[in-house]
Amino acid sequence: MLKGSCLCGQITYQYDGVIDEISMCHCRQCQRAQGSAFAAVAPIRSSAFTITTGQQQLAEFRASANKARVFCRLCGSPLYSARDDLPAIKRLRLGTLDTPVTAKTQYHAFVSSKASWFSISDELPQFERFKPS
């Protein structure tokens, strides 16, 4: 069981599953949403994800019409994104995890918009946009 929380601690969650595909998304939306060079993200099964406290503090913003970016309305921590057309999956923001995870798959997405001040210094695969399926 993995656990996580937002910066102010009002929202806590648990995930009864395994984090097995970690990616770093360098798209402009993620850069703005995180205030950073990229977002570290992993797909999780919605059915195994539970908000354990602070449900009423969840807020969402839609930069794309079909995708909610969910965050804590008190402290602003980004928690996950959820697409309307893929309700079975959420994409967790890994910085909010309190339980350590061991990465299995890692890659960089949307390197076409990588921040000019950030250098990728690992050997992981880099994709211009989405990982090809």
| Candidate ranges 23-31, 62-70, 87-95, 112-120; the one touching Zn ion (CB under 5 A) | 23-31
Q: Which is nearer to Zn ion, 2 or 111 (CB)?
A: 111
Q: Which is nearer to Zn ion, 2 or 72 (CB)?
A: 72
> What is the nearest approach in angstroms of Zn ion to the Cβ of residue 123?
21
Q: Where does residue 87 rank: exposed (0-12), middle (13-18), buried (19+ CB within 10 A)?
A: exposed
Residue from 30, 40, 42, 82 touching Zn ion (CB under 5 A): that is: 30
Residue from 2, 19, 27, 79 touching Zn ion (CB under 5 A): that is: 27
Q: How many residues bind Zn ion (CB under 5 A)?
A: 9
Describe the chain by its helix, strand, coil percentages, rounded to 5: 15, 40, 45
Left if phi > 0, otherwise alpha if psi is -120 to 50, otherwise beta: which for 66?
A: alpha
Closest CA to 38 of 108, 112, 100: 108
Residue from 2, 6, 44, 79 touching Zn ion (CB under 5 A): that is: 6
| Chain centroid to CA 71 | 10
51-110: contacts with Zn ion (CB under 5 A): 72, 74-75
- Say how far apart CA 55 and CA 109 lie, in whole Å: 30
User: Which residues in this chain contact Zn ion in the complex, by CB under 5 A?
Assistant: 6, 8, 10, 25, 27, 30, 72, 74-75
